[in-house]
């Protein structure tokens, strides 16, 4: 599976600039890039993230403020996607083998998946097109995924630790040390990725 869930755009109040939708997008996309699924904390939080126009605003200025056309995006995916679009119809994002799938469309999971190492893999030709055109094979996408995975596993371990009995003191101290080192490591990485 590429992601834990498909983001859903909610009904939001109309704004006069697309940037004013950023907090709405952040909430609807659970602080994750719509394309690579990285949490914005790896890029300095909401200020480090950008708003991508799925149907490019340079080609379809009439959708500049169209909330259903906006994607919460990391700077790497936004830059890679740029104004790429197949054809000249804003309602046709792909032809089945070229183009893009809206991150809020569950169909995306039919074309892309994650392997156990965090690599984003194509399941179809359209998936291959997206990997190539969004630069989804960048090692940083794996790196960020692994960090998120470590956080999740650490959380699971700590839940288990809370249920251990007192005679497992050694096990507990090793686990706490792992938690401490992992947290510090995560903090260094967070700072290294700050925008
Ligand atoms: Zn991204």
CA 128 to ligand 1 center in whole angstroms: 16
Return the pLDDT at 167. 62
Return the pLDDT at 194. 66
Would you state the structure tokens that stand for residue 179, as one six-digit string? 């938690």
Return the pLDDT at 109. 95
Return the pLDDT at 195. 56
pLDDT mean by block of 10 residues, the chain; 195 residues: 89 95 98 95 91 97 97 96 96 98 96 92 98 95 86 83 74 83 79 68
Domain ranges in the chain? 18-140, 142-192
CA 178 to ligand 1 center in whole angstroms: 29
CA 60 to ligand 1 center in whole angstroms: 22
Return the pLDDT at 78. 97
Burial label for 91, CB within 10 Å (0-12, 13-18, 19+), is exposed
What's phi and psi for 99, nearest 5 deg? 105, -160
CA 80 to ligand 1 center in whole angstroms: 9
CA 81 to ligand 1 center in whole angstroms: 10
Model confidence pTM above 0.75: yes
Return the pLDDT at 88. 95
């Amino acid at each position: 599976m590429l992601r834990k869930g498909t983001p859903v755009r909610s009904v939001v109040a109309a704004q006069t600039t697309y940037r004013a939708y950023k907090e709405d997008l952040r909430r609807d996309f659970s602080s994750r890039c719509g394309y690579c699924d990285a949490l914005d904390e790896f890029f300095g939080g909401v200020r480090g993230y950008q708003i991508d126009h799925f149907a490019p605003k340079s080609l379809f200025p009439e959708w500049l403020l169209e909330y259903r056309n906006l994607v919460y995006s990391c700077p790497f995916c936004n830059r890679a996607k740029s104004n790429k679009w197949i054809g000249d119809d804003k309602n046709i994002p792909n032809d089945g083998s070229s183009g893009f799938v809206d991150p809020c469309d569950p169909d995306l999971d039919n074309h892309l998946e994650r392997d156990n190492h965090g690599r984003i893999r194509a399941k179809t030709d359209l998936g291959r097109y997206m990997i190539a055109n969004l630069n989804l094979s960048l090692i940083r996408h794996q790196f960020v995924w692994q960090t998120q995975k470590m956080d999740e596993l650490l959380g699971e371990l700590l839940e288990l630790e809370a249920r251990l009995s007192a005679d497992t003191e050694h096990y507990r101290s090793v686990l706490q040390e792992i938690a401490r080192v992992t947290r510090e490591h995560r903090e260094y990485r967070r700072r290294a990725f700050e925008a």
